[in-house]
A = this chain, B = another copy of it.
Amino acid sequence: MSDLPKAVRINEEGPREGFQIEKGPITTAQKIALIDSLSQTGLQQIQTVSFVPAKNVPGMADADDVVKGFTRKPGVAYTGLWLNEMGLQRAIATGKLDIKGTLSLCASEKFLLRNQKRTLKENLEAQHSIVKMYQANNVPVVRAGLMAAFGCNFEGDIPIPQVLDTLQQMLDVAQQYELDLQFFSLADTMAWATPLSIRRVVGAVRDRFPDMAISLHLHDTRGMGIANAYAGLEMGVSIYDAAVGGLGGCPFASHRGAAGNVCTEDLVFMCHEMGIETGIDLDKLIESAQLAEEIVGHPLPGTVMKGGSLARMREKIALAA
């Protein structure tokens, strides 16, 4: 309990996570409106779009126009996703995004084979050309992401040594290319984590790599999202990905209809009520969540947007007294 951080940083991924999976149609103007709304909440980082071929992800066909359309707020890092050099070039060409590179490995070979048609070894080799691509474009590589760090629908439970070895492989690549990696992002891609496994994996990673910061990317597919975030807080983790309203979902067939990312405003609510700063105005964030729900046209899984903030409740009580 004494390890709770004083402040956390939240990387808002709702626009990218949501618009790539929602059936829509969602207009470019609506996407821009949500990003601009999120910019007013105090969030310091917003992942806006994914630069992928429209034939693969129709909801991202207008990615360039979305980025062109939003209004930059000073102090907010707007980011994008890409899977290859063509995507990276599109992101750079917008001139409005915070361009940082990521090394990306996976703790599960079976997932990698299904998802990217690569073995673990081939994927590790691919990181070399990815680093070269970033260096050729003067893009700093600051983040090392590990998918399926807590378990995999195709491989099952992931032994902790496998997680540690894979993270070490990324540090080896980083050393070879003199990258200034700042943190490991551990992703619970298929929602296998529980608070106990969060504690165990984060503890093992911290013990082995005490100089690296850790961030968590948590899915709520089995309802553990907020509990897992709490376990992360207990372990001192201070960086979280989250999606406003719980936007997004799970693209894996066996999870159709299941919840997606951990919900930003629920996470912010928990942090504030436990005395952890986020820099975010929860009531404004709830307004963004309500806008997101209006845009997608169906109920989103977020709960605080329906239950209301306690800060607002305390104000009402004080007024009534």
Residues on A lying within 8 angstroms of B by beta carbon are 1, 4, 151, 153-157, 191-192, 194-197, 199, 220-224, 226-227, 229-231, 250, 254-255, 257-259, 263, 266, 269-270, 273-275, 299, 301-304, 306-308, 310, 313-314, 317-318, 320
A-B residue pairs in contact (CB < 8 Å), sample of 20:
A1-B199, A153-B317, A154-B317, A156-B318, A194-B273, A195-B227, A195-B270, A196-B274, A221-B303, A221-B307, A222-B307, A223-B266, A223-B303, A227-B227, A230-B230, A230-B231, A255-B307, A259-B303, A259-B306, A301-B301
Query: What residues of B have a CB within 8 angstroms of the CB of A269 in the complex?
Result: 222-224
Given the known inter-chain contacts A270-B194, A314-B156, please indicate yes or no for A224 contacting B226, CB distance below 8 A.
Answer: yes
A65 shortest CB reach to chain B, Å: 34
In Å, the complex CA distance between A255 and B308 comes to 7
B226 adjacent to A223 (CB under 8 Å): yes
A189 shortest CB reach to chain B, Å: 13
Given the known inter-chain contacts A223-B304, A230-B227, please indicate yes or no for A192 contacting B257, CB distance below 8 A.
Answer: no
A255 shortest CB reach to chain B, Å: 6
Query: What residues of B have a CB within 8 angstroms of the CB of A259 in the complex?
Result: 303, 306-307
In Å, the complex CA distance between A318 and B155 comes to 9
Query: What residues of B have a CB within 8 angstroms of the CB of A229 in the complex?
Result: 227
